[in-house]
Structure 1
């Protein structure tokens, strides 16, 4: 059965170059600054956005990486107590 993601499991990086036309190019999904990539599909009513590097970010600051790994929410402590 084929995965439903635009890339095979176990790979990270950007969506096809046609989607990343930014200069400089967006950071890859395995870069420390991966959240700096451009939004290509925003769904605030559902609480998530797809970034140019195939990272899905959630409004609670959790992330879903292109290889299906999960990054737990990581709000700064000051924001959580405000």
Structure 2
């Protein structure tokens, strides 16, 4: 699918998010990568085969306990 040089990581690779963005919709919170992955701003992903990768970052602020 990718025609970049060097070739972008495949959708099955662990570094798949490093692929080139071919369609960006920051207003809607998603981008499509050249390897077919839909990448969401919350770090969730939908792979070309329909598998869903859950978001990996925290979505709420972390507070530290007072000493």
Q: What's the TM-score, normalizing by structure 1? A: 0.68
Return the alpha-carbon distance in structure 2 between the equivalents of residues 60 and 52 of structure 1.
19
Return the alpha-carbon distance in structure 2 between the equivalents of residues 37 and 80 of structure 1.
28
Q: Which has the higher helix share?
A: 1
> Which residue number corresponds to residue 7 of structure 1?
none
Q: Which has the higher strand share?
A: 2
Gaps of 5+ in 1: 1-14
Gaps of 5+ in 2: none
User: What is the root-mean-square deviation in Å for CA atoms of aligned residues?
Assistant: 1.8
Q: What's the TM-score, normalizing by structure 2? A: 0.82
> Which protein has greater RCO, CA pairs closer than 8 Å, 6+ apart?
1
Return the alpha-carbon distance in structure 1 between the equivalents of residues 61 and 15 of structure 2.
22
Q: Which has the larger radius of gyration?
A: 2
Question: Runs of 4 or more off by more than 2 Å in structure 1?
Answer: 79-82
